[in-house]
Structure 1
Amino acid sequence: MLKTSIGMLLTLGALLSSAPSFAETAYPTQTIRIVVPFTPGGGTDLTARIVADQLSKSLGQSVVVENRPGAASQLGISYVAKARPDGYTLLWTSADGISVLPAVKVNLPYKIPDSLAFVTSFASFPLILGVSSKLPINTMQEFIAYAKAHPGQLHYSSSGTGGGGHLQPAYMAKVLGLDMVHVPFESAAPAVVAVAGGHAEFTNVAPSTVGPYLTAGTVRAIATTGRNRTSMLPDLPTMTELGYPQLTEDFFYGMYAPAGTPPDIIKKLQEAVQAVLRAPGTTEKLHSLGLEPLDLSSDEFKDFVIKDLNRWTEIAKAIDFHLD
């Protein structure tokens, strides 16, 4: 009898140990929030909404996008980093607050990579150097000549101090010997509006953000920072083609969760986002927005971000820039 009871307990234990965890079978059971640390209208917000819509269908729960802009995206990132690690508060953002800002600001309310769980990447993109169409600038050569003829008079708008749209042109100024003034905004969308309205002379932003203004003729594209030409603007030369390979930079969008989120939840989210990325028509949609698919696993994404952070740390040293 005792042997039988022990056998039954051992069998039950084996079954329980091999069964999926509660999180694997139950998650999600409520609305999932994807925090975007920028205002609506930019590329980060746009891609987040594309993914959220598809995740709502595949996960069987509402997935909503919540915009929490401010401080070059660090407010929204900090909010998620401090959230309960249960898979219901997620982060969708660009490189700005993940690998660029941490390179110039030591005292952030979060630490990369320790404060976040890396779910998966989604897309990469270059920045487009867009100038006000009111200026007599049509090429990179004309841009450099105009900037040198007007030292301290060219204002460039960005999505916030310490972000990619700030450091990229700051590094460009260093490399090219230009004197230009930075004007920060809460996100890339109002930064482009400033250029279109003549309140700033140029900006460096994602293709999907500047696209409507290029079509309207209020902003003129001069060059792309990408390693390759963007499919959205195939005639636009890269910085490498123009003779400035050190100004080549690609940025990225991806999903994160608070550190400590259960691995099975991370895996389920990773597979769901990757399913969106690999679905028929997604690549074509991304190309229309000037984006390239970036399909990395959680571990691969984490390694990718650390390498990018190291790259921006070197750039920050080169321009001698840091934030207290």
Structure 2
Amino acid sequence: MGIPSLSISLLLAAAPLPVEPAAAAAPPPSQPMAEAEYLQVLESGNLAQLDGACRDAARFGLGQRMRDLRERLMLVAPAPQPFAVVTANARALLACRAPGSARRVLTRYGPGPGLQRQEWLLLSWRAASAALDHEAAVLALRRLADGDLSRLEALQVEVGESDAGLPLTRSALDQLALHEAALGRLDRAAAVALSAQTPGLVAAERLGLAARWLEMLGQHDASQLIEAALDQAAAAEAWALAEELLRLQLRLERNAGGDGARPRARLERLATRVDDRYTLWQLLQDGTESPEQDRQRAELERQLRSPRDQAGQSSLEESIKPGPAGPVTPANP
């Protein structure tokens, strides 16, 4: 989806792109590990058992257990160790929320080219990211890309856990852009974000974020980005995102000295077709005063306040469901 003719600057304060939950697994336990079992693992458990104890302690917020487990993990497998042991040790320390210790353990092994190096770099990125060391995180991801950012776009990296204890993943490309932005290298962050090729909702999100970042930097000429994002949002039937983009376009045009009449009209048409009464009410708040406008505003306020009115509190989903009036093309309403 790259737009090489545009010079875009990104800002880290933007909302994150969606993350993906992993496949369903057994639900996490409702109670922490029993004290006797924990003490046995702490004293004589292997790396896999220590990793499980770390995850358990982190899940239930047992700080003292995590501190004791971290100390044990730094001693249980002293160097030198084979690659599998070093990486298992680092993962367990990450589970114990000790990214600095995980990075120290990783320095015990220097893998050559190949799959081991890729795994080592991924773990190095996880540790650097958890420690908010953006420079080291960028270095690890760029080494993984090896000059080809498309490798990162296809690579899903773990960024957290769901409430059910399942890993949440996100494109490594998006992570690289955010790390670059956190370092203030906004031109590099832009080049990374706009190098992506995935169409649809993900593309709309990326383009929309780039346009918001432009606004925050005081650059109001983001029309090409917004139009491209609207096209992608329409293709994915993501009407809430399309409305968001049109609001942004309206704001940018007004900040640049225009009246914003066209994006306002487009937003009004889209909100009408998908029955988003709250957005229509907001537009009326910003409209000219007239008896008809007052009547419409009062009627919408009544509907929004009434819990018994099925459409009283309309809300759009960021989904691929079509609107009630059939397909809408926000870019050219």
State the structure with bigger RCO (CA 8 A, min sep 6), 1 or 2.
Answer: 1
- Greater fraction helix: 2
Flag the structure with larger Rg.
2
**What is the TM-score of this pair, normalised by structure 2?**
0.23
- Greater fraction strand: 1
